[in-house]
Structure 1
Amino acid sequence: MPHTDSESQLFLGLISGTSADGIDAALVRFRGHGDASHCELVHGRTYAWPEAVRARLIALGQGAAIDSIDEIGTLDVRIGEHFAAAARQLADEAGIAASHIQAIGSHGQTVRHRPAGAAFDGTHPFTMQLGDAHVIAERSGITTVADFRRRDVAAGGHGAPLLPALHNALLHSAHEDRAVLNLGGIANFTLLPQRGDVRGFDTGPANALMDAWCARHTGNAFDAGGAFAAQGTCDALLLRRLLDEPWFALPPPKSTGREVFHLDWVQARLQGGEAAADVQATLLELTATSVADALRAQQPGTRRVLVCGGGVHNARLLQRIAANLPEAVVESTAAQGVDPDFVEAMGFAWLARQALSGLPGNLPSVTGARGPRVLGVVYPRA
């Protein structure tokens, strides 16, 4: 068990990302006050969704219609129940009593993300995450902080990405320009120059399209190691049609999700007769190319790209990103002592700590908000 002292605090972070492949849970110990660099992962686990729930979450993320208010209310509670169970199980596995955990930071599950400038009418920007925090607090017995994105959106921001401040604390270097690349369902960058403002933005699809295409054509939930993509050849003309999507040309700040990048979006750009493996290889190259193009446009002097998220386990994807960025070292955040699978969950533990301390959680230079804001709503333990 890691060392404990009177200056340390335990927080628990929960998130289910765009891929909806499970609930990532991280128990994090912070030391001192206000300095996120003094934190350590005590225990982390990913808890799989029941398949029927996951299928519905993915469908909603891709714009499927909600059948009724009853459905959305019920799903909100069900997701909250699963998040609470993950928190309880993680604490039990770590041998930590609920009373010793200051708070849970719960991201929830995004089912719609329509920030300012998104590809819809934009009159009333919003973002929606499900996972009833009342249920999480009640079932876990732990103070819960949730609803982190909507205040930033209300302040004119994109509500995303929210983790660049933590990336800066953990992974900044005074000796080289760095970028942190999160390869979740959607890819996003945190840019960490040696000097100057931290910036961050989404770059486009990462695992979401590849997972969906792989599931449709192989029955597997994801392309382990990029093996399916390796069976095919990138279709250069299809890649160009995919990259012609106007969203890629938007300047930061910007964020996106399955509401833009989904299988119907891919299907509309196929000519018919393409081999499934060739499309998979092209979708992988789409991620690698869009990531590299965005980095060269926004921070061309980057010397190290630190990768986290589920895509870090796709060796072929990392190879293609490295090939597209020959001027930079591309490596896992593990090389810097940060577990790549739980960076996001750790981030929501940190955001809960910020909220309870009355400190801002956003970076306006990243999200485009009108100023720093305390993010999240507090749901006290019973």
Structure 2
Amino acid sequence: MSAPHPENSLNALGLMSGTSLDGVDAAIIRTNGTTITAHGPALTLPYPAELRRRLRELLDNAPGLQPDNADLKAVEHALTQVHVQAVQQLRQMAPHMPVDVIGFHGQTILHQPGRTWQIGDAAYLSHQTNLPVVHDFRSADVAAGGEGAPLVPLYHAALLHNRPAPVAVLNLGGVANLSLITRHGQIIACDTGPGNALLDDWASQHTGTPCDTDGQLAALGTVNAQVLEHLLAHPFFQQPAPKSLDRLSFHNALAHLAGLSAADGAATLVAFTVQAIARTPLPETPLEWFVCGGGRHNPTLMDALTKALPGAVYPAEHLGWNGDALEAECFGFLAIRSLAGLPLSLPTTTGVPSPQTGGRLTCMGITPWRRWFQTVPTHGFSSPT
């Protein structure tokens, strides 16, 4: 297939709020949904401490919440207001890249087999920014029988199109996930286990800080091998890809650390994250791993990954990427794919029976640029079944 003409590309502003609950990542890319023409600026807008606390309460209580719950609606509005601010600030930073569409992931408050729930008011976001908004990226996949996550693999594949395979991207957010591109161009993905979530919660409980800054606490500790092996005995780690997790899927793991010092508990949690990745059943061993997400800022975690994983381990910046912006860029990319009717997920990334489109459009009205999507090719990626 010949490359789509650059004139078929649009400027998409992607928004992502991950399970670490630390704030909104926003980034602009120029893309046609198969290739990336340009990377624009990016920013992170932290959540106020009170909003972060209320979001965490929602996560803890989400299984019993009703969609019309008053507290839920109030938090959703506050969350969307921060997203509006992120859009406004980023547009001011990029007058040379006027935004055509927003890709709005929202905030996941629950992710279970057969159910995924993201909050965020797309209509309010569209009204406040006067831009079309693509949102609700996961529901169609879940309704079709998929896991609904992870959704970043197609973007990773687009970024890695010229790297020797097998090659992997590892995202260390609240939950860790990986995308593997095989020698034959197949895209295989899954959540691997906890990323930063458990370590963040442990650090908060024992030091009063929201994370283990620079891995200093874990660096002082010793891994408790018995506790580690007990945690890794969970049946999730023997399951083949694709598979996915909720942020709180392993929250009860903290109870098994009772009696450990703050430092030893942190060291054991770092080893838990790393060994879960290293033991993930994969059909091919990556030659290179490119690490993105907040976890790559933790030197103790990165050092442990380098020692445990076969192949070379690099931060995303090794390829000139912005490792803090990749997921936000991804949802800009997926917004364009959604409008073009291209798949957002594959059987080998979410377990959906066949390549699945998704996302919903909310906008002030039909705009002329939508005619562009009639020209977009629909076979930009292989779709193994």
Same fold (TM over 0.5): yes
8 Å CA contact 2:45–2:82 kept in 1: the answer is no
How far has the Cα of 1:277 moved from its partner? 0.8
Q: Does 1:220 align with 2:220?
A: no
Aligned twin of 1:130 = 119
Question: 1:128 is paired with a residue of what secondary structure?
Answer: strand
User: 1:122 corresponds to which residue?
Assistant: none
1:160 match: secondary structure: coil
Structure 2 counterpart of 1:275? 261
Equivalent residue runs for 1:97-116 within 5 Å: 100-115=98-113
Matches within 5 A, 1:13-28: 13-28=14-29
Q: Who is 2:297 aligned against?
A: 313
In 2, Cα distance between the equivalents of 1:162 and 1:309?
A: 15
- Shift, 1:200, TM fit: 0.2
CA deviation profile, 1:341-378 (whole Å, cap 9, x unmatched): 11100000001111122222112221111222221110
Of 61-70 and 47-56, more deviation after overlay is shown by 61-70
1:381 correspondence with 2:364? yes
Q: 1:32-76 deviations in whole A, cap 9, x for unaligned?
A: x4432x333211000000111111222322446549712222222
Structure 2 counterpart of 1:248, from 237, 242, 258:
237
Corresponding residue of 2:355: 372
Percent identity, please.
39
User: Are the equivalent residues in 1 in contact too, given 2:116–2:139 (CA < 8 A)?
Assistant: yes
C-alpha separation between the residues in 1 aligned to 2:96 and 2:245? Answer: 37
**What letter matches 1:146 in structure 2?**
H
Question: Alpha-carbon deviation of 1:205?
Answer: 0.2
Q: Do the aligned partners of 1:166 and 1:350 also contact (CA within 8 Å) in 2? A: yes
Q: Distance in 2 between matches of 1:267 and 1:194?
A: 39
Match of 1:49 among 47, 50, 53: 47
* 1:82-117 CA-partner distances (Å, limit 9, x unpaired): 2122111111122358xx3111001000000112xx
RMSD across aligned C-alpha pairs, in angstroms?
Answer: 1.8
Partner of 2:378: none
In the TM superposition, what is the alpha-carbon distance from 1:18 to its structure 2 partner?
0.7
Report the AA paired with residue 356 of structure 1: L
> Aligned runs of 1:339-378 on 2, under 5 Å?
339-378=322-361
Contact 1:174 1:194 in 2 (8 A): no
- Give the Å deviation of 1:244: 1.8
Match of 2:307 in 1: 323
Asked whether the 8 Å contact 2:141–2:358 carries over to 1, the reply is yes
Matches within 5 A, 1:81-120: 81-95=81-95, 100-115=98-113
8 Å contact kept, 2:237–2:279:
no
Q: Is the 8 A contact 2:132 2:361 kept in 1?
A: yes
* Offset at residue 309 of structure 1 (A): 0.6
Partner of 2:274: 288
Question: Quick check: 1:266 aligned with 2:264?
Answer: no
Shift of residue 7 of structure 1?
4.9
In the superposition, the TM-score normalised over structure 1's length comes to 0.89
Q: Which runs of 5+ in 2 are unaligned?
A: 1-5, 366-385
Which blocks of at least 5 consecutive residues in structure 1 are unaligned?
Answer: 116-124
* Equivalent runs, 1:61-72 vs 2, <5 Å: 61-63=59-61, 66=65, 69-72=69-72
SS at 2:83's partner residue? helix
